[in-house]
Structure 1
Amino acid sequence: MRQTFSILIIVVISINGFAQCDDIEKLELGGTYSSRTRNYIPFEIKHKDKIEKEDTFYPYDIKHIEKYSDFILLKAKEYIVERSNIDFYNKLEMGQFQVNYPKSVKAKYGKEKLYKLSNYKVTYWILHTYRNNGFEYAFGLEFDKDGKMISENEFPDFSLNPEFEKLNEPCLALNKVKSDERFKDKKIEFIELAYLDEINSFCWLIKEKTDQPKELGLNHYEIELFYVNANTNKIELIKEQNGTIIACGFEKPKFVKNKD
């Protein structure tokens, strides 16, 4: 698992039009809204020509940095189109544009000198949301000052997998996992669209549900994550995840992932 600061935004997707099966209601928005750092200033992309300033001034108008952001957005487009194609790029919705500052510089709102980005060793992170036939997948890409992509690959290389957008319905993946002997007597926590760079393909990630703790205090758990190829419906990978459930009285259990 990547050790990054991340916020996992979970949205239950409408299943109208999908094949109906047990546990399909547990389909969620795939991917993460992860960033390498917390020391950043966010700028708005989607409505950059119509920013309504609020008391919080969040996010900032990207016009403050457009001589830098225009270059990075162009490089991001070139990278995405080269790796996939223009049709894939046109399906993406770009959200936030983050400027990540080095630890020596405190990212602070309203400091105009921080917008002179050539004075700092910054990186840029761009949030994307991909939609395909009602399924959604969120990912971020990070670029250096020269426009080189420096984060991990988050979507398939079209030249090696030209069928990558022909996604099977999640019910096929759910049924595949449930029929596997390794999933016997287990329950589903959630299913979401994910990407495995090892096989250059989108997968349906199915997470095993953890039993509720029977005792107060720290309760160790071990669960498995099943990755099912979203094109071939083959179980490609099973990852084990270890962690601790903190069960405390009247509160809902808190799940804490153990460090590697």
Structure 2
Amino acid sequence: MIYGVMKLTVGGSLKTVFRPWVEGLENVPAEGPAILASNHLSFSDSFFLPAVLDRKVTFIAKAEYFTSPGVKGKLTAAFFKGVGQLPVDRSGGRGAGEAAIRSGISVLERGELFGIYPEGTRSPDGRLYRGKPGGLARVALATGAPVIPVAMIDTEKIQPPGKVVPKLMRPGIRIGEPLDFSRYHGLEGDRFVLRSVTDEVMYEIMKLSGQEYVDIYATAAKRQIAEAAKKQAELEKARKAEGDGPSDESSGPG
């Protein structure tokens, strides 16, 4: 009931205001379980994709979105529940990953659509990063559900970091043909199989999105970017300190 209302209000508003274009909508089955594996460019990805689908799709969301105190916290929790987000505590390391996997399996066992971002986090620079094998592949092999690669296009340009007012433009969504990994059923404990499945999905996402592929994890890239920014700030601070110091040139008579 809540999802239907949110679908009409939030989904309808997004479609009316931003008019997202979609290719490959016929690749999403009308019924039965399926995994939608997407690149991740923006916070809004989890809203634009469900907005263009006729079926409910459930994504994993940070538990903090559901437990914040106050009126704002309750409204936020209601909003995320309404648009099909599932709370998972990500602060527990490996335990958090296991909880997310169990949640995904439960969604698929109910015959529903499960959305996942194999990169594990948003791209820091618009490029496509290495997929993490622990979630997507394990859920796919445990359930036998088909994996449908999805490419979000230009969603990061709508509201770049630091911008409060979103830019009115048309994002895009390309949905690829379902991938069948039933040949690996029962091998979800084999790390080489998990890596192979994940890489195959990422390759299909790359073809759909046209993104440059980077063979490192996005989390590592974010650390590198943060470290580079910190070093640059330190250099700028050092240069400024040198400029404010006493001059080496003598001011006395020659």
Into which bin does the TM-score normalised by the smaller protein fall? under 0.3
Higher helix fraction: Structure 1 or Structure 2? 2
Higher relative contact order (CA 8 A, sep 6+): 2
With normalisation by structure 1, the TM-score equals 0.21
